[in-house]
């Protein structure tokens, strides 16, 4: 079956350092979404990328969708304590199923 | 406007029992999806419903079923509960575009199910 893997699984950074999580799908995705889930909370939508090679920015966050539409990345510049949480990539397959990645848990040390 | 609401927030059941979880989508959203999230893992897709019809189904056994009502609210039913069904069950609503194209999803707070 389809797999969506993310690396790293965990990341600890000092406040102010940058952070990147990478997402790889075993199959081509028509689009990719990113969600953030705070500890004890529910996933919150961040962004959706649709086009091959697309890059989108939201303040300190930069999202990329790979040329082959099988991988994506999220980069956070100058992390803050409010960035703490688990970041998931997610996307649909051709069978109308929606797959979440394994997630990257970010800890920011003040 | 209220966000996605789910009930109950917590539930404790024993093996073999049946459970019904409920979800009310954001006003104007006609699509509801259900996910199971085991501690430390990403959400696993169970179902998507739109206009009372199942539009997508994940790799879950037939013990899992769902339905959507005319007001677009939804129920998830799980029969013959197993210990492994213990998880956070999330409901998400969205504007439905077309089959295979998932739009931005708004998640509810979830129902924490514990099976003893």
- Which pLDDT tens digit goes with each residue over A33-71? 999 999 999 999 999 999 999 999 999 999 999 999 999
Q: Is A88 on the interface with B (CB under 8 A)?
A: yes
Alpha carbon of A11: minimum distance to chain B alpha carbons (Å) = 14
Q: How close A52 gets to chain B, by Cα (Å)?
A: 16
Q: Which pLDDT score is estimated for B99?
A: 61
Rounded-to-integer distance, Cα A48 and Cα B102, Å: 10
Q: In this model, does residue A94 exceed pLDDT 80?
A: no
DSSP label at residue A78: S
pLDDT above 70 for B31: yes
d(CA B20, CA B16) in angstroms, rounded, equals 14
* pLDDT-above-70 percentage for chain B: 95
The gap between the terminal CA atoms of chain B, to the nearest Å, is: 37
Cα dist from A98 to A25, A57, B46, B62, B114, whole Å: 12, 24, 9, 18, 25
Can you read off the two tokens belonging to residue A45? 């939508």
pLDDT computed for residue A9 by the predictor:
96
Contacts of A102 in chain B (CB under 8 A): 41-42
Name the minimum distance, in Å, from the CA of B70 to any CA of chain A: 22
In chain B, the residue whose alpha carbon lies closest to the alpha carbon of A6 is: B42
Contacts of B60 (CB under 8 A, 6+ apart): B36, B44, B46
Query: Quick one: pLDDT band at residue B17, thresholds 50, 70, 90?
Result: very high
Taking contacts as CB-CB distances below 8 angstroms, the residues of chain B near A41 are 109
Please check the confidence at residue B80 and state whether its pLDDT lies above 90: yes
Residues of A in contact with B104 (CB under 8 A): 33, 45, 48
Nearest-CB residue to A30 (from B33, B57, B100):
B100
How big is the CA angle at B8 (ends A36 and B15), to the nearest 5 degrees? 100
Using CA atoms, how far apart are residues A20 and A13, in angstroms rounded to an integer?
11
Cβ B43–A44 below 8 Å, yes or no?
Answer: no
Q: List the alpha helices (DSSP H) in B11-51.
A: none
Average pLDDT over residues B62-67: 97
**pLDDT of A21 above 70:** yes
In the block, tokens 């069950």 appear at: B89
Mutation target to probe the B interface, by most B beta carbons within 10 A, among A9, A56, A97, A99 is A97
Q: Work out the burial of residue B18: count CB atoms within 10 Å of its CB; fewer than 13 is exposed, 13-18 middle, 19 or more buried.
A: exposed
Q: How far apart are CA B43 and CA B53, in angstroms?
A: 22
Q: What is the residue-averaged pLDDT of chain A?
A: 95
């Amino acid at each position: 079956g389809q797999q969506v893997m993310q690396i790293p699984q965990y990341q600890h950074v000092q406040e102010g350092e940058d952070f990147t999580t990478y997402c790889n799908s075993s199959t081509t995705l028509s689009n990719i979404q990113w969600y953030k889930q705070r500890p004890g909370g529910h996933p919150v939508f961040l962004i959706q990328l649709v086009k091959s090679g697309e890059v989108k920015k939201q303040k300190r966050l930069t999202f990329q969708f790979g040329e082959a539409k099988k991988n994506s990345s999220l980069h956070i510049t100058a992390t803050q304590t409010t960035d703490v949480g688990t970041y998931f990539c997610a996307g649909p397959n051709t069978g109308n199923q929606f797959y979440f990645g394994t997630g990257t848990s970010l800890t920011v040390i003040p | 406007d209220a966000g996605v609401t789910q009930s109950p927030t917590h539930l404790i059941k024993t093996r073999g029992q049946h459970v019904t979880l409920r979800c009310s989508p954001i006003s104007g959203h006609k699509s509801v999806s259900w996910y199971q999230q085991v501690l430390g893992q990403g959400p696993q897709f169970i179902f998507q419903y739109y206009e009372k019809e199942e539009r997508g189904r994940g790799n879950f056994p037939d013990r899992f079923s769902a339905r959507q009502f005319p007001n677009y609210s939804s129920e998830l039913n799980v029969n013959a509960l197993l210990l492994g069904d213990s998880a956070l069950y999330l409901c998400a609503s969205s504007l439905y575009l077309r089959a295979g194209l998932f739009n931005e999803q708004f998640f509810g707070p979830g129902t924490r199910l514990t099976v003893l």
